Amino acid sequence: MELYHYTTLESFFKMLSGAGESGFLGMELSNYMYSKDASGEPYGLSILRKAIGMYELNHQIPAESSKVEVPFFRNDRRMLVGPEQEMYIYPLTECQDSMPWWKAAGKSAVQVAIGLDYKALVEYCMNNNKFLLKCKYDDAAVMDVFVKQFESEYDTFDFDEEHSRFSIRTKFFSMMYNACLELKDPALSDEKEWRIASFVSPQEADYVFKNGLIEPIEILKLPSSVLKSICIRANEHFELIISGILGLLEKEGFDPELIEIRKSALQ
């Protein structure tokens, strides 16, 4: 099984040449709170909030005692309450050669899909304290799970106007992280998204100036065994592109014979 990441030839060049070490792909994980699906209150957290309301309805908890408005974020900071760590993600998909995942970056940009070996990714994540997550699109089923979890978790958190409070045994933090990282709008189910996820403190993150913002990122070094295929969107310079890729692969310590290179069927 392969999982795919859709990018541009320029970005792929940076992955191959930017790891700083032969035989590795340099992958830039984005801070989740800077992603489009995290604008406002992330979709998953809105479902978690509804689950709190459903639990309270089922248990006839009065409005004056409701926890529906519990703050998920620290004051003046796009960071979840709880441990001082931020979420970083790298989007992947099961979709091969799929139009919704080709990212238009101008007519001059050559578009590329890289195929990553699932088993090699799992092994890497297990050995490096990372997570490989399959996104969930059935919000009703997930909300039902959350409501059941509140049977044991509802009494472990509270809040007032000044701050949130949590008991030492709470798993509410995990519920928030799971809601953000795994749950997506059912309208996007055709994307079949997976994510490499990581948790990093602000002090350990790298920072770049991007899109007019100072944005925290994390750089992963994936071993060459993870890269299994390269698919290139139809382009008049296809042969020259392939030639350059093959040369760069060899220079950076990859074995081109172990990597399938093909032209996309999409025009």
How far apart are alpha carbons 251 and 23 in whole angstroms? 9
Q: What share of the chain is helix, strand, coil (3-state, %, to 5)?
A: 40, 30, 35
pLDDT digits (tens, 9 = 90+) for 46-75: 999 999 999 999 999 999 999 999 999 887
Q: Is the CB of residue 172 less than 8 Å from the CB of residue 156?
A: yes
Statement: residue 234 has pLDDT above 90? no
According to DSSP H, which parts of 25-138 are helical?
43-58, 118-127
> For the chain, first and last CA: distance in Å?
25
pLDDT digits (tens, 9 = 90+) for 85-123: 899 999 999 998 887 777 655 556 788 999 999 999 999
What global pTM score does this model have?
A: 0.88
